[in-house]
């Protein structure tokens, strides 16, 4: 496009000058920057809150793991005792059957 085809609006009444346009644009950028700063601060607060929640959950998880390990050890001990008692019961029943068989013979 040739320069003579572009309408020069710089002399129109109410048209902003180049400096006024740049100042307005700078003002808009400053507002955007302030909004971004507010959002950044909100995000930082949110992240700090999430980190704190994660720390609390990590502590709670460790407590639950310790509790589960204790239950597992207790259960293992009880199963061992049950197996031992089952062996004793099997031996008792075998002896009773053997005594009954001996009594019938004799």
pLDDT at residue 8, as a whole number: 65
3-state secondary structure of 53: helix
Which residues are CB-neighbours of 17 under 8 A, at least 6 positions away? Answer: 10
* Among the listed residues 11, 18, 14, 13, the one whose alpha carbon sits nearest the alpha carbon of residue 26: 18
pTM exceeds 0.85:
no
Rounded to the nearest 10°, the torsion over CA 54, 57, 62, 68 is -150
Confidence of residue 17 (pLDDT cuts 50, 70, 90): confident
The model's pLDDT over 73-89, given as tens digits with 9 standing for 90+, comes to: 999 999 999 999 999 99
Mean pLDDT, range 34-42, rounded to an integer: 98
């Amino acid at each position: 496009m040739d320069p003579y085809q572009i309408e020069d609006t710089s002399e129109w009444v109410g048209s902003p000058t180049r400096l006024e346009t740049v100042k307005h644009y700078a003002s808009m950028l400053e507002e955007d920057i302030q909004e971004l700063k507010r959002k950044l601060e909100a995000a930082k607060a949110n992240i700090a809150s999430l980190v704190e929640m994660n720390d609390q959950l990590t502590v709670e998880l460790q407590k639950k793991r310790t509790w589960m390990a204790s239950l597992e050890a207790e259960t293992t001990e009880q199963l061992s005792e049950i197996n031992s008692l089952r062996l004793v019961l099997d031996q008792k029943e075998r002896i009773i059957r053997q005594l009954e068989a001996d009594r019938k013979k004799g």
